[in-house]
Every structure is written in C-alpha cells, then in structure tokens.
Homo-oligomer: A and B are copies of this chain.
Amino acid sequence: MSAAPLFEKVALIGFGLIGGSIARAAKAQGLAGEIVTTARSPKTRERVKELGIVDRVVDTNIEAVKDADLVILCIPVGACGPVAQEIGPHLKAGAIVSDVGSVKGAVVRDMAPHLPKGVHFVPAHPVAGTEHSGPDSGFAELFVNRWCILTPPEGTDRTAVEKLQAFWAAIGAKVEVMTPDHHDLVLAITSHLPHLIAYTIVGTADELEKVTSSEVMQFSASGFRDFTRIAASDPTMWRDVFLTNKDAVLEMLGTFNEDLSKLTRAIRRGDGDALFEHFTRTRAIRRGIIQLGQDSAAPDFGRSHASLPKPDGK
C-alpha cells in the first residue's frame, strides 16, 4: 500500500513551463490526492485536458482553489496580486498558498494583503527553467538538483513551511529560505541582469547596418547563439520581472556598467595584462558551478555534434 499523499488537493493556477512541470512531477511522485488546474485562456485549458496529466481542469480560479490544501500560483509576477484578491475569500482555512515568481518582494507586497487569516502564505521561487513556454513545455525532471527558494514572512507557521519544503524536496529540489529582499538581490545578478544583457545584445545584432541578420545567425556558433537562448524566454514573464524588481536590477546594472567601462578602457589602451588577468579569474567561477552540480562539465553544455561525413573514395 502506498503512503498517504502529502496533500489531499493541490490547485495549480496557470499551466506554463513551471506549472506544467510541477503537475507532471507531483503526479509522478504521488504527492497529491487530486491535482486540479486552471488557466486563463480556454485554449490552454483545452490543451491541459488533452494532455491528461492532471485530475481535473476547471474554468475559474475560484473553482480551482475550493477545498485545496495547497494552492500554487504559476503565473507571471504581475498577475499575482489580482489573482490573490480574487481567490482570497474562497480559500480553505489552513490552506497553504504559494507561487513560483522570479521576484519575491513585489509578490509579497501584492498578495499578502488579500490572504485571510488562517491561510499560510509561503512564497517560493524554483530556480529552474528553460527558454520554452506553454503547456507542452514542462517536464517532471525540471527541478531535480535545482534550488527552490522560500521567502515566508516573519511569523509564518513553521509546519506549513516544512510541508511546502517537503513538497519541493519530493520533486527533486533543494530548498533554501531567505528574505524577499535578499532573494531579489541574488536573482538580480544571477538571472535578471543576464537576461537583460542577452535581450540587449540580440536586439543589437538584429539592427546593425554593416552586418546582416542572416550573417549573424549563420556565424552564431562562435558565442552569440548562447545569448539567443536566454533572449528567447517568455516576454510576459520577463517584462514583469523588470517592472517589479527595478531597484535591484538597476543597482546591479550600475556595477556591471562600471566593470564594462574598465574592460573597454583596457581594450582601448591595449592593456593585454589587465585583460588576461580578468579572463583567468572568471574561469574559476565556472569550475565552482560545475563542482556544485549546477551545470555540466561537458564542452558546449553537452550539445550533440553530428558525425563526420564518410571519407571520399573509401
């Protein structure tokens, strides 16, 4: 006989890359007696029904959260406040409410006022993703060996935090707890600034006069193509990230600009030693990330390479 599931009813609001991956993983691990999903667009709801991963697809957020023990908002950060306001009066007493947003200060500020007493609010951010989006993009292994950061407000019920922690651990994640402000600063440098830079340079390359877009794409294997993967991420999600984590992003951008000026000056002056010193230092960070199991040591991220053509005349 299997053990009782961690939650009787789990409601997922939104079924994109993250919501869809949580659903697949929770199903695979038997973490919920029932998984109920909704999504804003009828087309997505229809697709989720076809996929047959969750137990029930319902038309409204209110219907979804009814009697749910765990409610996770898997929607863009900017939509979290209005949805909290909508579902607040319909939440079951003792329910845990969480989210998956990449920004935490704004989510706490927007959602907390709408959640009734007796409901446990435990914001979360699984630090995992791909450049794909939509209901078909998720997969059960997305969170394995990735971090999930919880940012419970002071005084949150400890049992509720531990239960959400157990949920994330069961779908493979390592869990860390920090304040929303510190989270937003850490993610500004590890995620938001890299995305902004990638979005910028891909846009720059697309608008040059002297080099055509087709040349840019053709010769992209020399570095550029890595940036295009990041700059292919979901536009709505990323718009919201920059609007809601403005201060931390602008702070990191200031430091980045100073550092870019220094390297630019070294190039302008032909200071090879300064360049060499800098380029040697950054290699060490890569090694650290690989040692921590956060990336593959295989060259080119382990991208596959096609075989050589058959030699002529053999």
A residues contacting B by CB (< 8 A) are 2-3, 25, 28-31, 102, 127-132, 137, 139-142, 144-147, 149, 170-172, 176, 182, 185-187, 189-208, 210-211, 213-233, 235-236, 238-240, 242-243, 246, 249-250, 252-253, 255-257, 259-260, 263-264, 266-268, 270, 272, 275-276, 278-283, 285-289, 292, 294-296, 299-309, 311-314
**Contacts A185-B211, A306-B172 known; A295 to B222 CB distance under 8 Å?**
no
Tell me if B28 and A221 are in contact (CB < 8 A).
Answer: no
Tell me if B267 and A250 are in contact (CB < 8 A).
Answer: yes
**Contacts A191-B224, A302-B304 known; A286 to B229 CB distance under 8 Å?**
yes
Bound-complex Cα distance A235 to B276 (A): 6
Tell me if B219 and A246 are in contact (CB < 8 A).
Answer: no
Most B CB within 10 A of own CB, among A31, A182, A305 = A305
**Contacts A210-B185, A229-B295, A242-B267 known; A190 to B308 CB distance under 8 Å?**
no
**Contacts A231-B282, A286-B231, A295-B225 known; A311 to B29 CB distance under 8 Å?**
yes
Tell me if A304 and B311 are in contact (CB < 8 A).
Answer: no
Closest to A263 in B: B200
- A222 contacts which of B129, B232, B302 (Cβ < 8 Å)? B129
- Cβ–Cβ < 8 Å partners of A272 in chain B: 239-240, 243
Tell me if A302 and B305 are in contact (CB < 8 A).
Answer: no
- Cβ–Cβ < 8 Å partners of A243 in chain B: 267, 270, 272, 275
Closest to A222 in B: B191
- A206 contacts which of B199, B223, B229, B281 (Cβ < 8 Å)? B281
Tell me if B238 and A223 are in contact (CB < 8 A).
Answer: no
Tell me if A285 and B217 are in contact (CB < 8 A).
Answer: yes
Bound-complex Cα distance A155 to B283 (A): 42
Most B CB within 10 A of own CB, among A130, A208, A287, A299 = A299
- Cβ–Cβ < 8 Å partners of A102 in chain B: 222
Task: Give 30 pairs: A residue, B residue, CB < 8 Å, sorted on A.
Answer: A30-B314, A102-B222, A127-B219, A128-B221, A132-B299, A139-B305, A170-B312, A185-B211, A186-B211, A187-B222, A189-B224, A190-B223, A193-B204, A194-B201, A194-B222, A194-B224, A196-B267, A199-B279, A199-B282, A202-B285, A203-B259, A207-B259, A214-B288, A217-B285, A217-B289, A220-B294, A221-B295, A223-B230, A231-B282, A231-B285
**A141-B308, A200-B259 known, 17 other contacts, Cβ within 8 Å:** A102-B222, A127-B222, A128-B222, A142-B305, A144-B309, A185-B211, A190-B216, A190-B220, A204-B259, A208-B252, A223-B230, A226-B226, A229-B301, A232-B283, A232-B286, A250-B268, A296-B304
Closest to A78 in B: B272
- A306 contacts which of B145, B170, B260, B304 (Cβ < 8 Å)? B145
